[in-house]
Structure 1
Amino acid sequence: MTNTINVMLAGPRGKMGTEALKMIENTENFNLVGCIDRKHNGQSIKEVDGLPNLDAPIYTDAVEAFERLNADVFIDLTNPETGYKHTKLALHNHIRPVIGTSGFSEEQLEELKQLSSSQQTGIVIAPNFAIGAVLMMRFSQMAAKYFPNVEIIEKHHDEKLDAPSGTAVKTAQLIREVRTSQKQGHPDEHETMDGARGAELDGMHIHSIRLPGFIAQQEVIFGQSGQTLTINHNSTDRQSFMSGVKFAVEEVMKIDHFVYGLENLME
């Protein structure tokens, strides 16, 4: 028999948070013990319009929530500023965080890594929980060994706060591991409008699009004399992320260290 995993969640009314609640409700061995939200303190999830029929309390005070709730895993799908504070609180309380919030700085990631180590508490931070997106990053890393000229175009909804996306940055970092740093484009090229060539990491250019209608999409375009190769992933529904969140919750119970990127948990 599979052991029950007690889960607490931040941001239950957000689009991703609501999908996560549905996933928890439909997973036999997941038990929601409570949520952190900016509203509805003292109410139950099932008392809030539009949320699943789950009998779990809501706290507006995150410190109180972490002290009172008997949770094994904490899921945060909010924003970088809030998610960072919540993640530190979770680790200090020996509750394993599963974080889908991108936009953390390198310094913040390093601090969370050190805190995870000192607390001997597992943590998973994933720029993207869609399994297809993780495979897209892996395939891009494979291709970069043979196609070193590459640009990334990522497209997200216009409510996303960070640019470029965590997925785009993670993709570029994975490519950098197998690719010799090089300047791309004409050596004398110049922008007649600032930002026309996008952001740059190790010579790679990253372009961010923010428009209504998108959820999450990324193209990794490789160019070589006489040919191009495009690796594309498109999330058309936020449900696409939930299989990865579920997988991360199950896997974080098995570790006592810091993991950045879902691909590091996949065989």
Structure 2
Amino acid sequence: MIRVCFAGVTGWTAPPILAAVDRADDLALTAGVSRSAAGRTLADAVGHGDGRVHASVADALRDAEVDVLVDYTSAAAVRGNVWAAVEAGVHAVVGSSGLTAADYAELDGLARERGVGVVAAGNFSVMAALLQRAASLAAAKLDHWEIIDYASDTKPDVPSGTARELAESLGEIRRPEGGVPLVELHGPAEARGAEVGGTRVHSVRLPGFTVSTEAVFAGKGERLVMRHDAGDSAEPYAAGTVLAVRRVRESPGVRRGLGALLFDDTEEDAGKEG
């Protein structure tokens, strides 16, 4: 039985994932983390599990039996939560945005030192993983691309975890050819977006969006646009999160992206140029 602590247990993402954990014969929700519901039983707060809701991950790991921490909190909280788990020898599945490539490199070293696994994805949707897979194949063959990152006007972190992970994964394959150098632009350089892993990323924050990620590839006389649109439900993240919970213990260190679990040949094939 894999014992799970869910950080962000009263959040928007939690209900379908908690229901999936509850349906699984090999998983058990033993603790939750939510400051607003701290002290309540899981059954009372969210309708699943036999343990309690705690104010912090440190409290949960001290008071409950936990094998895997699942974090769906915020950019402000995720680092402290995940580092606390790994330091305690607890595996982690990270669905929160906010960690950079440098953060993950540091976390990878700590996880290997502690002998625990971490699976982190900007988006645990299978369709989002397929977007990243397809974009990686395109980046190995095409020379020009940028990313457009859409989210609601209330989302404080830019770019989204989905867009950041996509840009960083493409950067591991190659960097796109640039246009006019920033120093030669007429006007504010910020209009060209931010550089993430060598890719220009443009974050749009408007009402009516959840998270949409668009990879735009272009050549002379043609364009290829790949886009993933998230709906108003967290249901698409349930299957991928449960898969990560089951497989996070397979190897120590950080594995990034749901594709690392879905496509065994991702790095070998998607990274080939030609």
TM-score (normalizing by structure 1): 0.89
1:234 maps to 2:225: no
CA distance in structure 1 between the partners assigned to 2:260 and 2:25 by the alignment: 25
1:258 maps to 2:247: no
Q: Per-residue CA shift, 1:100-123, capped at 9, x if unaligned?
A: 112113332222111101110111
Partner of 2:118: 123
Partner of 2:13: 16
Residues paired across the two proteins, number: 262
Are residues 91 and 201 of structure 1, via their aligned partners in 2, closer, same or farther at CA, if it must alter by over 3 Å?
closer
CA apart distance, 1:241: 1.2
CA distance in structure 2 between the partners assigned to 1:191 and 1:28 by the alignment: 61
CA distance in structure 1 between the partners assigned to 2:181 and 2:108 by the alignment: 40
1:37 maps to 2:31: no
Are residues 172 and 63 of structure 1, via their aligned partners in 2, closer, same or farther at CA, if it must alter by over 3 Å?
closer
Aligned with 2:191 (options 188, 196, 203): 196
Are residues 142 and 5 of structure 1, via their aligned partners in 2, closer, same or farther at CA, if it must alter by over 3 Å?
same
Aligned with 1:26 (options 18, 23, 26): 23
Q: Percent identity?
A: 28
1:138 maps to 2:136: no
CA apart distance, 1:7: 0.6
Partner of 2:76: 81
Partner of 1:178: 173
Are residues 186 and 80 of structure 1, via their aligned partners in 2, closer, same or farther at CA, if it must alter by over 3 Å?
closer
CA apart distance, 1:189: 6.0
Q: Per-residue CA shift, 1:221-243, capped at 9, x if unaligned?
A: 11111111111111213111111
Equivalent pair of 1:6/1:32 in contact (CA under 8 Å): yes
Q: Provide the secondary structure at the position in 2 that maps to 1:81.
A: coil
Equivalent pair of 2:127/2:228 in contact (CA under 8 Å): yes
CA distance in structure 2 between the partners assigned to 1:204 and 1:84 by the alignment: 24
1:92-171 alignment runs, 5 A limit: 92-171=87-166
Equivalent pair of 1:6/1:31 in contact (CA under 8 Å): yes
TM-score (normalizing by structure 2): 0.87
Structure 1 residue identity aligned to 2:200: H
Structure 2 residue identity aligned to 1:102: S
CA distance in structure 2 between the partners assigned to 1:258 and 1:8 by the alignment: 19
Computed over aligned residues only, the root mean square deviation of the Cα atoms, in angstroms, reads 2.1
Aligned with 2:4 (options 4, 7, 15): 7
Are residues 90 and 234 of structure 1, via their aligned partners in 2, closer, same or farther at CA, if it must alter by over 3 Å?
same
CA distance in structure 2 between the partners assigned to 1:153 and 1:211 by the alignment: 13
